[in-house]
Amino acid sequence: MVASVIHDKKDDVLLFISQQLQENQPRDDYRELLELSSVFLGNRPTENFTFKTPGPTHHARWLSKAIYSLKIYLFQEQFSLSRAEAPGLRHICIFIVLLYIKAWYCAPSAIHAPRKDLEFMKNLLNYKKINKNISEVASKKFSTHLWYLSEQLICLSLFDDNVSAEIKLRLIESIQKKVKLKILNALM
């Protein structure tokens, strides 16, 4: 089932993982999530890859839960998973690999954040074709974090090379209209 769900997106995700592994990762668990995701997608581990012993997990760090989910899935024959746990684990691992890792590794860039966050929300909503429950829960939760996409911060998109010139011009026109309205309102 995993292969059929990820088939058309697998190459894209593997390319992203490869690019991220070439960059310096700030923590070992960032690299570990990428490596585990690659193995989950069917890639053979590199020569220096090792499965790390699980350490402490913190409730605020979803990254550790993602890593442990992938490890449990990869070693599921060594666990006694219930009939409900096995498909749930499979679905969360597919979500991690198809949506979460790209959003996680692109999040630190303030310039790309507005576009990436809107893309992530769109992907979450489209994810209902794969898993309606995860799509609804994740999009509802993520929507509570979009409060910072304000008029002031959306201007960072002007510096994003991946935003088309047409959209940048429309953004500038919109900003100019709002500035003119504020000036007119202040004068009256």
- Taking residue 9's Cβ as centre, other Cβ atoms within 10 Å add up to 15
Per-residue pLDDT at 59: 55
For the chain, give the mean pLDDT. 86
Q: Specify whether the CB–CB gap between 96 and 37 falls below 8 A.
A: yes
74, 106, 138: which is the final residue of a domain?
106
Q: How many domains does the chain have?
A: 2
| Higher pLDDT, residue 34 or 61 | 34
Query: 62-74 and 85-95 are packed helices; what angle lies between their axes, rounded to 10 degrees?
Result: 120
pLDDT mean over 146-157: 77
Res. 185: pLDDT tops 90: no
Q: Are residues 74 and 116 in the same domain?
A: no
Question: 77-118, pLDDT tens digit by residue?
Answer: 898 888 889 999 999 999 999 999 998 888 888 888 888 888
What length does the chain have?
188
Res. 60: pLDDT tops 70: no
Q: Are residues 1 and 46 in the same domain?
A: yes
Question: 167-180, pLDDT tens digit by residue?
Answer: 889 988 888 888 88
Q: Are residues 100 and 113 in the same domain?
A: no
Q: What pLDDT band is residue 56 in, cutting at 50, 70 and 90?
A: low
Q: Are residues 134 and 62 in the same domain?
A: no
Q: Specify whether the CB–CB gap between 112 and 70 falls below 8 A.
A: no
Res. 45: pLDDT tops 80: no
Res. 19: pLDDT tops 90: yes
Q: Specify whether the CB–CB gap between 64 and 29 falls below 8 A.
A: yes
pLDDT mean over 48-57: 72
DSSP output for 76-112: GGGS---TTHHHHHHHHHHHIIIIIHHHHHHTT-TTT
Res. 34: pLDDT tops 90: yes
Domain ranges, residue 123: 109-188
Return contacts of 114-121, CB within 8 angstroms, 24+ apart: 114/149, 114/153, 114/154, 114/156, 114/157, 114/160, 115/157, 115/160, 115/162, 115/163, 117/146, 117/149, 118/149, 121/146
Res. 150: pLDDT tops 80: no
pLDDT mean over 54-72: 78
Q: Are residues 52 and 114 in the same domain?
A: no
Q: Are residues 121 and 167 in the same domain?
A: yes
pLDDT mean over 128-135: 93
Q: Are residues 120 and 82 in the same domain?
A: no
Q: Which residues, in sequence order, are CB contacts of 117 under 8 Å at separation 6+?
A: 146, 149
